[in-house]
Amino acid sequence: MGNKKSKRTEINREELEYLLQTTNITSREIKHWHKIYMKECPDGRLTKEQFCKLYADISPGRQKSPLYEHIFRTYDQDSSGHIDFKEFIEAINITRSTKPEDKLRMAFRLYDIDQNGCIEEKEMVEVMRALHMMAGEDSKQVTVDEKIRSRARHVFDQVDKNHDGQVTVDELVNVCMRNPDIYNMIISSTKSPPTKKS
């Protein structure tokens, strides 16, 4: 019986080797994340509800926010409605990447809510509002909501270089690579959650 339990909670060698070759995450970290992941979803399929709970648990002091659902959508690369362990680790790897372009491409997927290949201003407002909620700010207050909309409008105007009302991934990357302030505003939403102590 004890062996069965260890098989369920330990990552198999092939999956570990694949993740070691395709990510910059150490074997120890992968095994740690796998333990947390399997505790939350023993069947190896992390649902949106489970993900939001896990993200809240490993982000102490942060408010529950719709941002978690946006992050789930970003991690669920194959749109299957769940995140498998490989997707989970690959997403963490991107958020930890030191390459600014990788971070921006992840941020683009986060902001592209309807997944149509471009960001509209309303999508930027929605994600920025979710960020404020996660930080514990009441985005329902009229003054706060107007500040969020104003900030989103400012960022959107900066990155929508051809003023067509849509931001492509290339526009986002090109503008942010030349403007550190806009870059920092955009990538603040893609930071990796802290590792939960086991």
122: tokens are 């309303």
The ranges assigned to domains in the chain are 13-96, 100-190
Domain 100-190 has CATH 3.40.50.1000: no
Alpha helices, H only, 41-164: 48-57, 67-75, 85-96, 100-111, 121-134, 142-159
Listed in sequence order, the residues at least 6 apart from 16 whose beta carbon sits closer than 8 Å to its beta carbon are: 27, 30, 31
pLDDT greater than 80 at residue 115: yes
CATH code: domain 13-96 is: 1.10.238.10
Output the six-digit token pair for 97.
């990447």
| Residue position matching structure tokens 């993900």 | 51
Cα gap 125→117, rounded to integer Å: 17
**Using one digit for the tens of pLDDT, what is the confidence trace for 117-145?**
999 999 999 998 887 776 665 556 667 78
13-96 matches 100-190 in fold: yes
Over the stretch 46-61, which tens digit does the pLDDT of each residue have?
898 888 777 777 665 5
The whole-number pLDDT of residue 138 equals 56
> Band of the pLDDT at 4, cuts 50, 70, 90?
very low
pLDDT value of position 5:
42
Q: Under 8 Å CB-to-CB from 164, ≥6 apart: which residues?
A: none
Higher pLDDT, 135 or 181: 181
Q: Write down the pLDDT at residue 125.
A: 93
